[in-house]
Amino acid sequence: MLKIALTGTRYSGKTNVSKVFKQLQVPVFDADTILKYILNFKADTQSSIYQNVGSYLFNNGKLDKSFFVTKYIFDKTIDIAEFELFEAWSRFTDKNKDKPYIIFESSIIFERDWKKKFDGTICVFAPKEERVRRARENTAKRIDQLWTQMDSEISEFDKNTASTWIIHNYEDAPDILKQINNIDTKIIDLYLEKDKLKTF
């Protein structure tokens, strides 16, 4: 089995891309949702964050991401939950070990240096201006807040450069279904080649 990471910047459209892969019968592990659950509902994790980072990160018992004002605070918090996240990923892997490949969907693949854990990385790309437009349609944040938030991320171009495959997801981009089918074919070919080498 090949393990593939799927990532992208905010509002790039990676969740919609993951839905298409699911339609192709590719198992997708939603790491962002699992991580959110661990951080907000696992008592031992919350206790450890209280002790090692600070209770100020919580608002009405829920982790408030607006307090991730530095990379140090963000990394220290995720460090606490990372082991449990990858334990869940390991169980997901075992459950789907008969599949040619599975996908680990996460917005922080590069931020956490997780790329080395996977056989390839798919990055969903949309220009920043397009992502700001999408965000304005879906959030109540001011445009200056959105630009500040997106400027704090790793550049979408740096993520593209570090990825194995890129899915372009914006108005004038090539047909997204064709892009996904093309990548699916390449990954299956890679899996078959790897499997063939095992027989020698």
Number of domains in the chain: 2
Question: Per residue in 91-119, pLDDT tens?
Answer: 999 999 999 999 999 999 999 999 999 99
Do 165 and 195 lie in one domain? The reply is yes
- Of 51, 73, 95, which marks where a domain is finished? 95
Positive or negative, the CA dihedral 158, 163, 165, 170 is negative
Give buried/exposed letters for 94-130 (b at 16+ CB in 10 A, else e): eeeeeebbbbbbbbbbbbbebbeebebbbbbbbbbeb
Burial grade of 196 (CB within 10 A; 0-12, 13-18, 19 or more): exposed
Residue 8: pLDDT over 90:
yes
Does residue 113 sit in helix, strand or coil?
coil
Residue 112 φ/ψ region, left for φ over 0, alpha for ψ in the -120 to 50 degree band, beta for the rest = alpha
What is the predicted pLDDT for the residue at 200?
47
Question: Per residue in 63-82, pLDDT tens?
Answer: 877 777 688 888 999 999 99
Residue that is written with structure tokens 């056989």 in the block? 119
Do 14 and 62 lie in one domain? The reply is no
Do 190 and 164 lie in one domain? The reply is yes
In degrees and rounded to multiples of 5, residue 136 shows phi and psi of -65, -30
Do 4 and 64 lie in one domain? The reply is no
